[in-house]
């Protein structure tokens, strides 16, 4: 099999070591003679896998005991609706940061359930910056504050956790969870779709402070109720068992690699290399303000946009896959999550240099 580097934004490349281990265990997991995919979710063998995965995630993120960890389905998109339902707690306003395409979607979904105050809104500037905290406009009676620490499409990342006082802070960490240490106690809820830094699509991890449980109003499906999920140990119905197992392998890999601090060091190194190269060139550019550039998703444009298609095609032939930008913004985007080795970034930069020589 030829070696490729997959720069997809998600579902994204998974660590090669984890893929090999999953392959080795595919038909006989832990000596059971069964694939993890074939086990009853209530079996001893699967419960052991599920508990280990949760314990490893708790260790990696240093999750305090008063937080529940849920392994759910429905993706981050289902949480866009579940968050207001579970967290409004009788109030009717929530504060949102609209800083890119994903928070824009979260806002739209929340507006079905409550009044949304945009404490931060960078839509008019095409989501290329985050204003200083002195300009944020929180409302007086918000049930919670929601933000998207990393905007996967626009390549905008918060490098500090917003200060929301006593109001529960909710974060859609889909595209940067496990890429850097976080202080979980600063958050009321953290949620993340798995298909970038956790594992295969189909799983969404929700980390929720336990005093926020118990407020789901009547009249909604129980599958949207975090309290019901927490009580049932995420087994209210059949969970996405294989994705949960696979996430567990990724968590073990992260521990073997030195944990989240080691990942952060690598991610700083990889993203700095790529941004430095882009900034030094007249041919490539990145539109995002330097203080809030993403370490995970690096969008870039060419001085000659008519060459976008050729760039993506030639890169693909060179084994550099999925570099086209999101259909809503165009240009190119390199997603460089935990599983992308530095050699992949080096190969991309070498290709970009060579492409510029021929076309610049
Ligand atoms: N939030 C962010 C930040 C994302 O990047 C994505 C997916 N790319 C989503 C939400 C939506 O996730 P899902 O498709 O799993 O619902």
What is the C-alpha to C-alpha distance for residues 72 and 77, in angstroms, rounded to an integer?
12
Which pLDDT score is estimated for 309? 96
202-to-23, 54, 196 alpha-carbon distances in Å: 19, 17, 11
CA-closest residue to ligand 1 atom 10: 76
Q: 120 C-alpha to center of ligand 1: Å?
A: 20
Closest by Cα among 328, 332, 278 to 307: 332
107 Cβ neighbours under 8 A, 6+ residues apart: 96, 98, 116, 118
Tell me, what's the pLDDT at 1? 56
Q: Which residues are catalytic?
A: 102, 172, 196
Say if residues 119 and 96 touch (Cβ distance below 8 Å).
yes
Q: Which atom of ligand 1 is nearest to the CA of 151?
A: 3
Question: Where does residue 329 rank: exposed (0-12), middle (13-18), buried (19+ CB within 10 A)?
Answer: middle
Identify the pLDDT of residue 290: 98
- Locate the ligand 1 atom nearest the alpha carbon of residue 78 and give its number: 16
User: Strand 145-147 and strand 169-172: pairing?
Assistant: parallel
Residue-level pLDDT at 251: 98
Whose Cα sits closest to atom 12 in ligand 1? 76
Alpha-carbon distances, residue 173 vs 139, 146, 161, 214, 296 (angstroms):
23, 11, 12, 23, 12
For atom 3 of ligand 1, which residue has the closest CA? 174
Q: Which residue has the tokens 């940061």?
A: 97
Minimum-distance ligand 1 atom for the alpha carbon of 195 = 15
Q: Could you tell me the two tokens for 279? A: 């900034």
Distance 282 CA to ligand 1 centre (A): 32
List the chain residues with pLDDT less than 70.
1-2
Q: Which atom of ligand 1 is nearest to the CA of 9?
A: 8
- Using a 6 Å CB cutoff, which residues line ligand 1? 10, 75-77, 102, 148, 152, 172, 174-175, 193
Report phi then psi at 31, rounded to 5.
70, 15
pLDDT of 360 reads 82
Å from CA of 8 to ligand 1 middle: 13
Give, for ligand 1, the residue of 99, 102, 178 to mutate: max count of ligand atoms closer than 8 Å to Cβ. Answer: 102
Mutate to test the pocket of ligand 1, among 75, 79, 96 (most ligand atoms within 8 A of CB): 75
Query: Ligand 1 center to residue 173 CA distance, Å?
Result: 9
Q: Locate 297 and state its tokens.
A: 């998703």
List the 284-285 sheet strands across, edge first: 284-285, 297-302, 332-335
The rounded distance, in Å, linking the Cα atoms of 253 and 255 is 5
pTM (predicted TM-score)? 0.98
The residue whose C-alpha atom lies closest to atom 9 belonging to ligand 1 is: 76
At 308, list the tokens: 């976008």
| SS3 sequence of the chain | CCCCEECCCCCCCCCHHHHHHHHHCCCCCCCCCCCHHHCCCCCHHHHHHHHHHHHHHHHHHCCCCCEEEEEECCHHHHHHHHHHHHHCCCCCEEEEEECCHHHHHHHHHHCCCCEEEEEEECHHHCCCCCCCHHHCCCCCCCCCEEECCEECCCCEECCCCCCCCCCCEEEECCCCCCCCCCCHHHCCEEEEECCCCCCCCCCEEEEEEHHHCCCCCCCCCHHHCHHHHHHCCCCCCCCCHHHHHHHHHHHHHHHHCCHHHHHHHHHHHHHHHHHHHHHHCCCEECCCCHHHECCCEEEEEECCHHHHHHHHHHHHHCCEECCECCCCCCCEEEECCCCCCHHHHHHHHHHHHHHHHHHC
Question: CA–CA separation, 40 vs 55, rounded Å?
Answer: 20
State which of 75, 76, 100 you would mutate to test the pocket of ligand 1, scoring each by most atoms of that ligand within 8 A of its C-beta: 76
Cα 59 to averaged position of ligand 1 atoms, centre (Å): 24
Ligand 1 centroid–CA 76 distance in Å is 5
CA 238 to ligand 1 center in whole angstroms: 22
Which atom of ligand 1 approaches the CA of 193 most closely?
A: 15
């Amino acid at each position: 099999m030829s070696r490729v580097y997959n720069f997809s934004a998600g579902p994204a490349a998974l660590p090669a070591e984890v893929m090999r281990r999953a392959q080795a265990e595919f038909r006989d997991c832990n000596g059971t003679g069964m694939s993890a995919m074939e086990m009853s979710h209530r079996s001893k063998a699967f419960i052991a896998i599920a508990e280990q995965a949760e314990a490893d995630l708790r260790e990696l993120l240093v999750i305090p005991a008063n937080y529940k960890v849920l392994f759910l389905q429905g993706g981050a998109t289902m949480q866009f609706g579940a968050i207001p339902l579970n967290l409004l707690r009788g109030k009717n306003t929530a504060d949102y940061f609209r800083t890119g395409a994903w928070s824009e979607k979260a806002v739209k979904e929340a507006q079905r359930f409550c009044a949304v105050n945009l404490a931060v809104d960078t839509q008019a500037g095409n989501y290329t910056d985050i204003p200083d905290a002195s300009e944020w406009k929180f409302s007086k009676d918000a049930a919670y504050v929601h933000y998207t620490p990393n905007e996967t499409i626009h390549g905008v990342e918060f490098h500090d956790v917003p200060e929301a006082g006593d109001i529960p802070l909710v974060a859609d960490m889909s595209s940067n969870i496990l890429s850097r240490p976080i202080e979980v106690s600063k958050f009321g809820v953290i949620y993340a779709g798995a298909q970038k830094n956790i594992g295969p699509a189909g799983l969404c991890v929700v980390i929720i402070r336990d005093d926020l449980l118990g407020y789901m109003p009547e009249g909604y499906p129980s599958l949207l109720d975090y309290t019901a999920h927490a009580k049932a140990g995420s087994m209210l119905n059949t969970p996405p068992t294989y994705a949960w197992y696979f996430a567990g392998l990724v968590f073990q890999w992260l521990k073997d690699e030195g944990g989240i601090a080691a990942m952060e060091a690598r991610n700083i190194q990889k993203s700095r290399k790529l941004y430095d190269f882009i900034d030094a060139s007249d041919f490539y550019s990145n539109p995002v303000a330097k203080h809030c550039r993403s370490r995970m998703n690096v969008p870039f444009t060419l001085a000659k946009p008519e060459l976008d298609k050729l760039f993506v095609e030639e890169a693909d032939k060179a084994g550099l896959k999925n570099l086209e930008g999101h259909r809503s913004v165009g240009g190119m985007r390199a997603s460089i999550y935990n599983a992308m080795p530095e050699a992949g970034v080096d190969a991309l930069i070498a290709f970009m240099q060579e492409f510029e020589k021929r076309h610049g």
